[in-house]
Structure 1
Amino acid sequence: MSPRPLDYHVQLHTLLISAEVHCLLILKLVGMLILIHVTAACPLDCYCFTNTGLVQCHFLSLQEIPREIPHWVQNLSIIGSHIAVLRTAAFVSNRTHLVNLTSLILSNNSIQTIEALAFHGLPSLTTLDLSYNLLSSIANDTFLGQTQLQVLKLNHALQKPAPEQLFNSQWIMNLRSLRILEMASNALQLFPSVVLALEDLQVLNIGNNSLQVVDAETISALSNKSKLWVYLSPNPLVCDCQIATMLYWLRNTSQVLDAQSLTCNAPVNLNGTHVTKLNTEDLKCQHKDLKTASYVFLGIVLALIGVIFLMVLYLNRRGMKKWVNNFREACRDQMEGYHYRYEQDSDPRRSNISTGI
């Protein structure tokens, strides 16, 4: 007896429900496996947020870059550790490159040395923050291949003294796409003019350093880069005659975005005065020029007197020789007289005669 059509449809419906349940169970299992894999990929004691692509490793006393950074990371923040050396390919683990990483924060990690190709394997990196470190050595090929890097922050990052030695054209010229460079609070005494070779640079922040003046050559180079905006305040500017060219530049350019905030640190009578409000008379250039000219004139007069004196001696060399000989003879006669008197005084017999004993 063949089964009735109703029983056949019931069995088919039951089979479909069972298959659907099994599919849901498989999907849940796959989801759990994916979640377990993602969780396991997060470095120990770090926080990983898959929905935003953020990985945070803060104040963990790390001595090197963690090796378990997930490949999906877009924003990586490692702060407050003790990574003295940032080694070559520091972010490559098991030949895996962090191709999605665009923002990297490595501030306050006591980094002293950055080796060549330290950021190898980060082809999409656009923003790098190395602020608040102790950099004393940056390899020439540190940024080789970082064609997408647009923002570099080095605020309070260079070890003192003489941070100017770190600025050389070797590693800076590899930053071809850089648009924003921050170097505040590094005790720079000279304007880092080497960075002006970066053609795409749009914003340069060198405030809170030790600049006393921006020299005329640097001002000329800055004037040729009309699309570059500069932040200079604060700096201990010396408002004397040497700042005259800088004063003219500040009054006739819009490149310095904080020009109105610049103040004089010296001399004492101009301390705290806004640079853009200075008058030419305040710089006392004319007085300084006259003083310099006076010293030069005095030196010339003394030199002429010396030359004339030597000429007189040369022209009267025979008479001078005779005078020297006469003076020598007179001195000899005088010394002989003193010697005779000494002998007379030292002879006891002559002393007794002279006393009448």
Structure 2
Amino acid sequence: MSSKKLALYVCVAWMMAIIGSCFATTCPPDFGGRCICGQASYNGKERYLVNCTNTHFNDAAMLEKLPIQTEVVIFTGNNVTSMPWNVFGKMNDYPYLEVIDMTNNNIQEIKGKTYHHVKNVKTLILNHNQLNITGDKTHPRIFSNFVNLESLHLTNAFSESVDSKEYLVALEQIFVGSNLTKLAKVHLEQNEIWSIKNPNIFCTLPSLMDIQLGDNNMSDISFNVGCIHNLRFIDLRNNKIHSLSNNTLSKFEELPDQGLGVKLDLMGNPFICDCQIADLLNWLRTTKVDVLQKESYICYDGLPASNANEQLYNVHQIQCAFAPKQEYQGTTVLLGILLFLMTSLILIIGYMNFTSVRAGTIALWEKVVHRGQYTHILSKPEEQEVHV
């Protein structure tokens, strides 16, 4: 091959690469030139992406025109308060679509028919939105078309105007209505969750393995873990846990093989190292549950006061903070009883002497009245003399 022909082949190949690159980053006209479409690395793997990050869209109409080969949709940093019906259109099935990321779009409502043609999607990300799923705001089957969904991300996803206990009840109804049989991971971090009043919220997810509840306000594990047959990991980092109740500890011991193979993360909680933590300390030293980095947990406070800032795992001396209070309460109760007895005695004596007391009171009153009359007569002014 001559050098001229070789140079020509190289030139043609270079031009084709440039042309291919241009087409690879060009989306359909409906995207208005704001997004990037084409092959790119996503989580360490080459995928066909449609990337609309911080593109300031006020609606999601352009998503109806996704390229058929799309594998990952990144639609973040926009302002779409209500997701429309059939957000990906009515016609295409998108056989390669596996990831939908709709983080930070101020989404408040997802309609019952929003997500169609998503049967192959494995990951749905709705982090940092303002979802209201209570009342008539959301249909319980909003995720029913995600038949292969494995990972659901709802970090900081809900409106703070709604009590977390209420939207967790609604979320359980969505889990039931959507029949998410393959869902393995649920992310619920940063949602101002104080407690969970529906303990069976995760029981209808037969494939669930990982529950992420970090950066909330939970003081204990208030949901049923015994019904999660494939449980692998619970994240409770940076909550408000001072200790764990005996009821909670027994839940883990009742798991198959006493929780062997289950991981629990309690890092960053404000443990109070007084007598109330004795059962947790003993459990940490004996349990088969893999409590991650338990040797690094720190006492936020405690009794004796020297326990503060000590490593929880190394605390050996603990005192009870409530003994003085109990003694004070006992004294208060005793004084109350004595006061009651004295009052009762006075009332009984008064009742028994009621007749004599009444007679004496009447006599005293009559005496006062008569004395007043005499005083009135004696003080009557003299009649003036009339001279004729």
**What TM-score do the two structures reach when normalised by structure 1?**
0.70
For 1:205-216, list aligned pairs within 5 A. Answer: 205-211=212-218, 212-213=240-241, 214-216=244-246
Of the three residues 179, 199, 205, the one matched with 2:184 is: 179
Structure 2: distance between partners of 1:159 and 1:260:
36
Of the three residues 284, 289, 292, the one matched with 2:326 is: 292
Shift of 1:199: 3.9
1:322 aligns with 2:359: no
Helix, strand or coil for the counterpart of 2:50? strand
Structure 1: distance between partners of 2:375 and 2:207:
94
Shift of 1:80: 0.2
Structure 2: distance between partners of 1:117 and 1:256:
41
Match of 2:234 in 1: none
Shift of 1:129: 1.6
Shift of 1:185: 2.1
Structure 2: distance between partners of 1:85 and 1:60:
17
Helix, strand or coil for the counterpart of 1:158? coil
Shift of 1:309: 4.8
1:54 aligns with 2:49: yes
Structure 1: distance between partners of 2:84 and 2:281:
44
Fraction of identical pairs, as percent: 19
Q: Which amino acid is 2:325 matched to?
A: K
Q: Which amino acid is 1:153 matched to?
A: H
What is the RMSD of the two structures over their aligned residues, measured on CA atoms?
3.9
Q: Provide closer, same or farther for how the CA distance between residues 237 and 293 of structure 1 changes in structure 2, counting only shifts above 3 A.
A: same
Show structure 1 runs of 5+ residues with no match: 1-27, 351-357
Match of 2:268 in 1: 234
Aligned length: 312
Deviates more, 1:116-125 or 1:262-271: 262-271
For 1:135-154, list aligned pairs within 5 A. Answer: 135-137=131-133, 139=138, 140-154=140-154
Structure 2: distance between partners of 1:70 and 1:330:
109
Helix, strand or coil for the counterpart of 1:57? strand
Match of 1:107 in 2: 103
Tell me if structure 2 keeps the 8 A contact 1:206–1:231: no
Tell me if structure 1 keeps the 8 A contact 2:147–2:181: yes
Structure 2: distance between partners of 1:330 and 1:89:
96
Structure 2: distance between partners of 1:337 and 1:247:
84
Q: Which amino acid is 1:319 matched to?
A: M
Match of 1:189 in 2: 194
Shift of 1:62: 2.1
Tell me if structure 2 keeps the 8 A contact 1:208–1:233: no
Shift of 1:59: 1.0
Rg comparison, structure with higher value: 1
Q: Provide closer, same or farther for how the CA distance between residues 190 and 67 of structure 1 changes in structure 2, counting only shifts above 3 A.
A: same
Match of 1:164 in 2: 165
Deviates more, 1:38-47 or 1:168-177: 38-47
Helix, strand or coil for the counterpart of 2:333? helix
Q: Write out per-residue CA displacement over residues 41-72 of structure 1, whole angstroms, 9 at most, x where no aligned residue.
A: 77332111157221101112223332211222
Greater helix content: 1
Of the three residues 70, 73, 76, the one matched with 1:76 is: 73
Tell me if structure 1 keeps the 8 A contact 2:27–2:35: no
Q: Provide closer, same or farther for how the CA distance between residues 128 and 239 of structure 1 changes in structure 2, counting only shifts above 3 A.
A: farther
Q: Provide closer, same or farther for how the CA distance between residues 244 and 196 of structure 1 changes in structure 2, counting only shifts above 3 A.
A: farther
Helix, strand or coil for the counterpart of 1:71? coil
Tell me if structure 1 keeps the 8 A contact 2:117–2:145: no
Shift of 1:97: 2.7
Q: Which amino acid is 2:79 matched to?
A: H
Helix, strand or coil for the counterpart of 2:365? helix
**What TM-score do the two structures reach when normalised by structure 2?**
0.65
